[in-house]
Amino acid sequence: MLYGPITRAFADLDAEMLERYTAWALDRFDEVAAARKDGRFAHLDRDERHARIVELAGGKKWYEAIVGYNKAMLTEFVAKNCAAIIKKRNDRLVAALLKKGIEEIPEFTLYHDGNGYEGYFEVAGHKVTIHTILAGGYNIQCLHERTLIKAKAAA
């Protein structure tokens, strides 16, 4: 099966992602609470004040989570969000491999740079590359990472 080796190869990177996202979300939680308490945007009209707080939170989705949850609930929300990101990435990896006719892979090593956003692995004579870009915007969704995956026959 394809999922087991992929899950194991990405385990460290996935744990780092969860840690980074959790730290970021809890920092946004504290910043939003402080901004609401200290009145730093009090000089602005209601709509502009709200827009600034949403921006401080990281977007509409994060604002709703931050003001609607306590820290424990926010941590759980982040964990579920990361799990969904990981599942989507793994599903896309499996789809790319199946498209190349690869239905089983051995254990492999994931090579990636320090921030985990670029990487590759080789399997069954194919090089699978992973490239992450930033996507999204204020009115559509919060800024987020989009992972692009390509599987090509190794040269």
Q: Select from 93, 90, 153 the least CA-distant residue to 124.
A: 153
Over residues 117-145, the mean pLDDT reads 70
Task: List the strands of the sheet with 118-123, edge to edge.
Answer: 111-112, 118-123, 126-137, 141-153
pLDDT digits (tens, 9 = 90+) for 144-155: 667 788 888 877
Domain residue limits, the chain: 3-153
Query: 60 CB contacts (<8 Å, ≥6 apart)?
Result: 54, 138, 141, 142
Under 8 Å between Cβ of 145 and 136: no
Helical (H) or strand (E) element with 143: strand 141-153
- pLDDT tens-digit series, residues 19-63: 988 999 999 999 999 999 998 899 999 999 999 999 999 888 899
